[in-house]
Structure 1
Amino acid sequence: MPDYGHDLLFGTVLVPAAGHSADAVALARVADRSGLDLVSVPDHPYRPDLLDAWAVLAVIAASTTRVRVFPNVANLPLRPPAVLARTAAGLDLLSDGRVELGLGAGSYWEAIAADGGPRRSPGEALRATREAIEVIRELWTSDRHVHIDGKHYGLDGAAPGPAPAHPIGIWVGAVGPRMLKLVGETADGWLPSAPHVPPNRLAAGHRIVAESAASAGRAPAAVRRLYNLSPGPGGFPGERRTHGPSSWRRSPWSTGRARSSCPRSNRP
């Protein structure tokens, strides 16, 4: 898979267990001192055994000096895009430009619905993600009140801002062909995970992203390639599935590695 001349960045996925609330921050400090580039945390707002992703990212950003932080990936059905835009931009300002935005269309719909969120079909999730990206970008960049007529997300004269400290990348956790096409057309990065997109499927996904970017008049190099790696065929250490498809448990020290073809010299 071509890297378009980008340098590799390396990072970690930290699981912020509520029962061990200090561990993720402590590990993020280690990552910062060790020279890693990215620190991320999963975002499952419906899981009471995990701390809120944005709260953890804020503390991690305040406790480190160089790593970039991001949700891996933000749960769009339970995080309205206007709120996501302002939350990410605010933390980017507070951290001197060290925030990116991983974005997910949603899964575990049973758990999302139990928390009052929508239960979307694949087509609805695709459209909602497209609308969300438009909302987020407009609130970051517009110089006037924003009007967007969306089926799932719209704005009716919303005041834009705050503008982030740097151009925050929107990295989408896409798996299926239609979502990959959306990434190529609108997103700044493709962020798959090994359990869902194993290495032998990366080239095919890359082709869809690159061709879709070109069809939309974008350079394929404009979409960054990232990859969440599982430590092995058994998944993350200490992970076990419980209570059906909507609930997972992980040990407080579970980590995964995130690899990126983002350039070190130029933040997205």
Structure 2
Amino acid sequence: MRFGLALPHYDFSLDARRVSFDAVAGWARRAEALGFDSVWVSDHFFLSLGRYGGPDRPQGSLEPLTTLAGLAAVTQRVRLGTLVLCAPFRHPAVLAKQATALDLLSGGRVELGIGAGWYREEFEAFGYRFGTVGERFRILEETVRALGLLLPGGPATFEGRHVALREAYNHPPPAQRPRPPIWIGAKGGERALRLAARHADGWNTVWRWTPRAYGERVAVARRICEEEGRDPTTLRLSLGLATLVGEDERDLVARFRALQRWTPGGALDGELLDAYAVDTLTGTPERVVERLAAFAELGVEEVIVGAASVPFAIFDPGMVELFAEAVIPAARGL
């Protein structure tokens, strides 16, 4: 099993300090030194913590693709992923050129996660049509299909409702051949899983899952692959999980209490540790490895660590180090 780290690239990510590239780059280098296999950023113009029980006000963020370009220059080994890009924000021709350039300058380290978008407020603030879920998904579908044609180099011809290509070339092509991996980011509805089965390399979902609930969606994904004539074992699976590790039970309790105090808006106030652990990656190193083994049995090849109770934040650097030292080596062979 491989391990990624969700990088802290929002205003709320590091003790409510304003986001800075230096801080994000520092964590990317740290993740590489600690033995993580990948680092990941998300795609929002801004994000409110109201969705997660915190203050309902806009929080700033760094744009993902330019951030990853900067990280490519300060790292050597870790793969650089988007978790996930919002398809309606970028025409696939522009996105193909951006992803190709990033893949070339990083030496072939790009993982291209993409989704339909869900955050109405940012669509409306910046003049994008939010529309229906179906409309946004249609844009995602056409974008993924167009990327599949463009990224290898072309010529690409495609006629959709939102995207049209006519003998379009993407030269020079990316470093990875035929192209960087494409991941569909979604909760696991049938339409998204069918898109992944038809046109993508893998499916990713985040942040709170039990093995049982996740396994139910994997079973659907495998059925859809068979219906589409695809070997189900070729659909790659990655999973982001909110993560909390303690050296022992006493340390785990102390870290959970610290997490409760840190969590914006008191969203974890009153929640019991056992309840929080049900659908997160929480426990001593031994228990966490057991939970990882359950996900590995379902086919998960990479787990992306969310090192706080809200996405793309780090509340306890020592916890990330403990995970790297006590969990990653023990779970490598899963």
- Same-fold call, TM > 0.5? yes
Instruction: Give the AA of the match of 1:177.
Output: E
Specify which of 59, 62, 72 is matched with residue 73 of structure 2: 62
Match of 2:105 in 1: 94
Counterpart in 2 of 1:44? 44
Give, in whole Å, the separation in 1 of the partners of 2:240 and 2:27. Answer: 17
The answer for the alignment partner of 1:31 in structure 2 is: 31
Distance 2:311 2:191 in 1: 31
Q: Which has the larger radius of gyration?
A: 2
Post-superposition offset of 1:250: 7.3
Out of 124, 141, 144, the position equivalent to 2:152 is 141
**Corresponding residue number in structure 1 for 2:233:** 221
Letter in 1 for 2:229: G
Give the superposed CA RMSD.
Answer: 2.8
Tell me, in whole angstroms, the C-alpha distance in 2 between the residues paired with 1:250 and 1:206. Answer: 23
Bigger mean CA offset, 113-122 vs 222-231: 113-122
> Which amino acid in structure 2 is aligned with residue 203 of structure 1?
G
- In the superposition, relative to structure 1, how do residues 63 and 142 fare at CA in structure 2: closer, same or farther (>3 Å)? closer
C-alpha separation between the residues in 1 aligned to 2:193 and 2:241? 19
1:253 corresponds in structure 2 to 314
Within 5 Å, give how 1:1-268 maps onto structure 2. 8-17=1-10, 19-21=18-20, 22-47=22-47, 49-144=60-155, 146-166=156-176, 167-175=179-187, 176-195=189-208, 197-231=209-243, 238-239=263-264, 253=314
Partner deviation per Cα, 1:45-98 (whole Å, 9 max, x = no partner): 245611111121111111111000111101111122222211111111111111
Write the distance in 1 (CA, Å) between the matches of 2:182 and 2:311: 27
CA distance in 2, matches of 1:143, 1:102: 21
- Residues 76 and 129, structure 1, Cα contact 8 Å, conserved in 2: yes
Amino acid paired to 2:219? R
CA contact (8 A) 2:206 2:240 kept: yes
- TM-score, length-normalised on structure 1? 0.81
Q: Residue type of the partner of 2:157?
A: H
Give the residue type in structure 2 aligned to 1:205.
R
TM-score, structure 2 normalization:
0.66
* Higher mean C-alpha displacement, 174-183 vs 49-58: 174-183
Looking at structure 2, the residues matched to 157 and 251 of structure 1 have their Cα atoms a distance apart, in angstroms, of 39
Q: Percent identity?
A: 33
Tell me the secondary structure at the aligned position of residue 29 of structure 2: helix
1:158, CA displacement in angstroms?
Answer: 2.6
- 2:36 counterpart SS class: coil
Listed as ranges, the gaps of 5+ residues in structure 1 are: 1-7, 242-248, 258-263
Q: 1:26 to 1:142 in 2, by over 3 A?
A: closer
Give the structure with the higher percent helix: 2
Q: CA 1:32/1:123 → structure 2, altered by over 3 Å: closer, same or farther?
A: same
